[in-house]
Structure 1
Amino acid sequence: MKVKLIVSAERYDEIAETLLKAGIGISEKSDLILSERNTSINYLIGKKGDVIYRIKTSDISHIESFSHEVIAYTYDGEYRINERLKTLSNMLDPEVFIRISNSVIISTEHIKSIKPALTRKFIITMQNGAVVDVTRTYYYIFKEFLGI
């Protein structure tokens, strides 16, 4: 059996060693995730073409889901992610990343501007030029998160 390990950098080696001694392997592609409470990840594994990259979460402006495909956007381009959006929203730092619709998570550190729309929505322009909408369902959550 293999698990994906999401723990603090300080405890990673200790926990990984314990799991390996118990015969449990560690893999980024595993369907099972073992995580510490209140720990968020610092990087994601993504693909650009056939090349696999380790992407710092601080470099990610937003993540979008299109049907069964999840794309992380950075200044360097777009990366396909193997995680579901719901899983990512639980793994990313909740003080930085917020879900703004059923298909988009953004990094509040990469927001360039916020424009209110007429129908209880916001239009957000990210620093990389991307434009995303806060839907009505997430409108009040977003307002409270930013304190606006």
Structure 2
Amino acid sequence: MKCEVSIDPAYKEPKIIILTDKMTDEISEMMKRLSETYMDSIAVFSDRGVEIIECKDVVRIYAEKQKVLIQTVSGIYTVRSRLYELEEKLDSKIFVRISNSEIVNSKKITSMDISMTGTIGVLLTGNIKTYTSRRYVSKIKKLFGI
């Protein structure tokens, strides 16, 4: 594959053009990656009102009692987005879904207990203990090379 960059003052925003004879899986994946924009902060609600938190500070996002909650080391906040909407907007290399009701920041995982049959115990920063569902065990093992 050849790569070329052309500097032109007429272009105020970068433009990427792919020239090829046919569409391949590699090109589709490249286009998907180039078009992805991940959020780097989230507007959350607390007893103090609306706050902006950095995504890198998020330990986990989970659903409980018909609400979506975001937990950081400093507290728990509510958010109006649905879990699947947040999953689409967050960087999939960092945030991983471990059950139908929970997404965790893989950089905040301190240890995993794989001794239990059918599930994985996950210990997160701040001594937060959670579990994967059976449905997501193979995905987690593949992600971490277990």
Normalised to the residue count of structure 1, the TM-score between the two structures is 0.73
**Aligned-partner Cα distance in 2 for 1:100–1:118:** 15
Q: In structure 2, give the amino acid aligned to 1:57.
A: C
Match of 1:125 in 2: 123
Deviation at 1:129, TM superposition (A): 1.2
Give ranges in structure 2 of 5+ residues lacking alignment: 1-12, 14-33
Q: 1:62-86, CA deviations, whole angstroms, 9 ceiling, x for partnerless residues?
A: 0110142011011110010111001
Deviation (angstroms), 1:50: 4.2
* Residue 85 of structure 2 corresponds to residue 87 of structure 1: yes
Cα deviation per residue 1:61-117 (whole Å; 9 max; x = unaligned)?
Answer: 001101420110111100101110011111100100000000000000001110014
TM-score normalised to structure 2 length: 0.74
Which residue identity lines up with residue 75 of structure 1 in the other structure?
Answer: V
Bigger strand share? 1
Deviates more, 1:118-127 or 1:92-101: 118-127
Equivalent position of 1:17 in the other structure: none
Identify the residue that residue 112 of structure 1 maps to in structure 2. Answer: 110
**Which runs of structure 1 show a deviation greater than 4 angstroms over 4 or more consecutive aligned residues?**
none
Q: Distance in 1 between matches of 2:69 and 2:109?
A: 18
Rg larger in 1 or in 2?
2
Q: Which runs of 5+ in 1 are unaligned?
A: 1-13, 15-35
AA matched with 1:83: S
Instruction: Choose the corresponding residue for 2:145, options 119, 144, 147.
Output: 147
Paired position in structure 2 for 1:45: 43
1:18-97 → structure 2 map (5 Å cutoff): 37-97=35-95
Kindly report the root-mean-square deviation, in angstroms, between the aligned alpha carbons of the 2 structures. Answer: 1.5
Aligned to 1:32: none
